[in-house]
Structure 1
Amino acid sequence: MASVSVANARKNYGHLEILHGVDIDIQDGEFVILVGPSGCGKSTLLRMIAGLEEISGGRISIGGRVVNDVAPKERDIAMVFQSYALYPHMTVEANMGFSLRLAKAPKEEIKARVREAAQILGLEKLLDRHPRNLSGGQRQRVAMGRAIVRQPQVFLFDEPLSNLDAKLRVQMRSEIKQLHQRLKTTTIYVTHDQIEAMTMADKIVVMRDGHVEQIGSPLDLYDSPANLFVAGFIGSPGMNFIKGQISADGPIEFVANGGARLPIPAHVPFTRGQQVIYGIRPEHLTINQGGAQADVTLIEPTGAETQITAGLGNVQIVATVRDRLALRAGDLISIAPDLTKVQLFDAVSEKALRG
């Protein structure tokens, strides 16, 4: 196991810069997820750590050793790809032990390591099968097993669950997290799915356009997003955003562009008349207990919860409630925010206003 340090890492393709000085420190044994929309540079960064892409500037270290000019096979890492990348003519056992055979490891050691990995992943009964006879989830386990047998310092995962159906993705999320808890190997995982990031990571790195927007634990990012982008990207359903300003005179409150008025937390710094964006998550809204008037436009029961979409002035907002309210489209309701959960963002810089 080893720590990983990325310092001022840059990546250029000709005159086009893709990564703009990325800094990330990953502790020994941590499970870190790089998350962001397509094109943000997360997979490029992962490939740079693996040595599959050259670094254009900065430094990447694994276990305290700078690896900028070290070949991928000498970095003591193992990578699991989105496409499984299994050899179709080889059995599961042969696929899992292939890298060890290339390294000329003793046959008994190869067999022992493969059997151990198969036991961890529940593949003991599948070792004689070929990839064509496996399900998607089983193929992904084989790909993971091939990485495990190498006993690397660092595991790298590049969107490994994106080819699986929704139910299997949930199952594999749990299995990968349990695998990490068992092996305690430093893991860097790339995904565009913020649910994967929230449920699996010790630490999340949110990226956009080649920059790191925020680094923190899942709940840190959820409760205290640094800016509008992070607040909107983390959480499902997403945070409600309402444009407006702090009242210029009279009672101190938020005045939406559509005229609705909402209370603001006292600890947030602001100036009278400041243009801001009011952020509140759906689960932090209460219905029909005082507050601003809104028109119900959609009711979506999911069983344990009900999502209510309503028009608040000229903006549509979503509230998530556990009570089974007798509502239908067209009803008039009142919506009140939990003031301890309200987030205010400067309308120009889009940065969170913090006390």
Structure 2
Amino acid sequence: MASVQIHDVRKSFAGFEVLHGVSIPIEDGEFVVLVGPSGCGKSTLLRMLAGLENITSGTISIGDRVVNNVHPKERDIAMVFQNYALYPHMTVSDNMAFSMKLRGAPKSEIETRVSKAADILGLKPLLDRYPRQLSGGQRQRVAMGRAIVRDPQVFLFDEPLSNLDAKLRVAMRTEIKELHQRLKTTTVYVTHDQIEAMTMADKIVVMHDGVIEQMGAPLDLYDRPANQFVAGFIGSPAMNFIEGKVVASGSPHVETANGTKLPLANVPANSDGKPVVYGVRPEHLELADDGVLAEVVVVEPTGSETQVVARVGNQDIISVFRERQTVRPGENIRLRPRTSAVHLFDKETGKRL
């Protein structure tokens, strides 16, 4: 195991910069998830860590060694890809053992490591099968087993679950997290799925347009987003955003263009009259007689909860209720935001006030 230090890393393609001075400290044994929309630079950064992309400037260190110019096979990392990358003509056992055979490891050591990895991942009954005889989840476990056999200092995962169906993704998410808790190997995991990030990470790094918007523990990002982008990206359903201006006199509130008054617990300093974006998560809206008037547009029961899309003024917002609701489209309801959980963002910069 080893720590990883990514310091002021930049990447340019034909003079166009796609990573703008990214710095991420990763502790020994930490599970770090890089998350963000397509094109944000997260996979490029992972490939640079793996040695599959050159670094334009900055440094990447694994342990005490700067690896900018170190060949991928000499970095002591193992990578699990989105498309499994298994050799179709080899059995599960041979696929898992391949990298060790290339290194010329003794046969007894290879057999021991393959057997241990197969035990960890429940692959013992499948060792003589070929990839075509496996399900998607089994193939992904073989790809993980091949990485475990190498006993690397760092595991790299590049969107490994995106080819699996929803139910299998949940199961594999648990398996990968359990694997990390057992092996305690430093892990860097790339995904665009913020649910994967929230459930698996020790630390989340939210990226957007080649820069880091925020990094921290999952619940820190959820409870205290640094800006409107992070607030909208972390959490499902996404946070509701309503534009207005701060009114400090009387009962503090944000007033929208159509006169709707959204309550505030307190007013940030020097913000009276300031144009802002009022942010409230769907689960922080409750039905109340003194709430904001809203017209129900869509009701979506999911079993454990009910999502209600309602129109406030000319804007649709989503609320989530754990209790069963009998409201129907076209009816009027009143929604009260939980003021202690409301976020205010500067309309110009997007930063949280």
Give the TM-score normalised by the residue count of structure 2.
0.98
In 1, distance between residues paired with 2:269 and 2:107? 66
In 1, distance between residues paired with 2:98 and 2:138? 18
Structure 1: where are the runs of 5+ without partners? none
Does structure 1 conserve the Cα–Cα contact (< 8 Å) formed by 2:78 and 2:152? Answer: yes
1:98, distance to aligned residue in structure 2 (A): 0.3
Does structure 1 conserve the Cα–Cα contact (< 8 Å) formed by 2:248 and 2:267? Answer: no
1:331, distance to aligned residue in structure 2 (A): 1.1
Which residue identity lines up with residue 54 of structure 2 in the other structure?
A: E
1:260, distance to aligned residue in structure 2 (A): 0.8
Give 1:252's aligned residue: 252
Deviations along 1:239-273, one digit per CA (max 9) or x if unpaired, are 00001111275543110123210111216334221
In 2, distance between residues paired with 1:75 and 1:125? 32
Structure 1, 200-209 or 250-259: larger mean CA deviation: 250-259
Does structure 2 conserve the Cα–Cα contact (< 8 Å) formed by 1:222 and 1:234? Answer: yes
Give 1:104's aligned residue: 104
Deviations along 1:168-189, one digit per CA (max 9) or x if unpaired, are 0010000000000000000000
Give 1:134's aligned residue: 134
In 1, distance between residues paired with 2:132 and 2:269? 60
Does structure 1 conserve the Cα–Cα contact (< 8 Å) formed by 2:311 and 2:317? Answer: yes
Secondary structure of the structure 2 residue equivalent to 1:242: strand
Give 2:261's aligned residue: 261
Give 1:67's aligned residue: 67
Kindly indicate whether residue 6 of structure 2 is the aligned counterpart of residue 6 of structure 1.
Answer: yes
Which residue identity lines up with residue 183 of structure 1 in the other structure?
A: L
Does structure 1 conserve the Cα–Cα contact (< 8 Å) formed by 2:4 and 2:25? Answer: yes
Secondary structure of the structure 2 residue equivalent to 1:231: helix
In 1, distance between residues paired with 2:289 and 2:64? 56
In 1, distance between residues paired with 2:256 and 2:151? 56
In 1, distance between residues paired with 2:285 and 2:270? 23
Question: Following superposition, which runs of at least 4 residues in structure 1 exceed 2 angstroms of deviation?
Answer: 247-252, 267-270
Does structure 2 conserve the Cα–Cα contact (< 8 Å) formed by 1:286 and 1:335? Answer: yes
Give 1:212's aligned residue: 212
Which residue identity lines up with residue 197 of structure 2 in the other structure?
A: A
In 2, distance between residues paired with 1:113 and 1:148? 8
Which residue identity lines up with residue 333 of structure 1 in the other structure?
A: I
Which residue identity lines up with residue 72 of structure 1 in the other structure?
A: P
In 2, distance between residues paired with 1:209 and 1:351? 16
Does structure 1 conserve the Cα–Cα contact (< 8 Å) formed by 2:228 and 2:351? Answer: yes
Does structure 1 conserve the Cα–Cα contact (< 8 Å) formed by 2:251 and 2:263? Answer: no
Secondary structure of the structure 1 residue equivalent to 2:104: coil
Give 1:321's aligned residue: 321
Give 2:45's aligned residue: 45
In 1, distance between residues paired with 2:146 and 2:271? 58
In 2, distance between residues paired with 1:342 and 1:323? 22
Structural mapping, 1:164-243, within 5 Å? 164-243=164-243
Give 1:304's aligned residue: 304
Kindly indicate whether residue 285 of structure 2 is the aligned counterpart of residue 285 of structure 1.
Answer: yes
Does structure 1 conserve the Cα–Cα contact (< 8 Å) formed by 2:309 and 2:319? Answer: yes
In 1, distance between residues paired with 2:160 and 2:267? 42
| CA distance 1:284–1:121, change in 2 (3 Å) | same
| CA distance 1:180–1:248, change in 2 (3 Å) | closer
Deviations along 1:58-79, one digit per CA (max 9) or x if unpaired, are 0000012110011101110000
Q: Count matched residues.
A: 353
Does structure 2 conserve the Cα–Cα contact (< 8 Å) formed by 1:203 and 1:218? Answer: yes
Deviations along 1:79-109, one digit per CA (max 9) or x if unpaired, are 0000100000000000000000000000000
- Aligned-residue CA RMSD (Å): 1.0
The percentage of counterpart residues that share the same residue type is 65
1:34, distance to aligned residue in structure 2 (A): 0.2
Secondary structure of the structure 1 residue equivalent to 2:10: strand
Secondary structure of the structure 2 residue equivalent to 1:129: coil
Which residue identity lines up with residue 208 of structure 2 in the other structure?
A: R
In 1, distance between residues paired with 2:84 and 2:31? 21
Does structure 2 conserve the Cα–Cα contact (< 8 Å) formed by 1:258 and 1:315? Answer: no
In 1, distance between residues paired with 2:84 and 2:110? 21
Does structure 2 conserve the Cα–Cα contact (< 8 Å) formed by 1:34 and 1:207? Answer: yes
Structure 1, 249-258 or 239-248: larger mean CA deviation: 249-258
Deviations along 1:269-301, one digit per CA (max 9) or x if unpaired, are 342210000000000011134221111111111
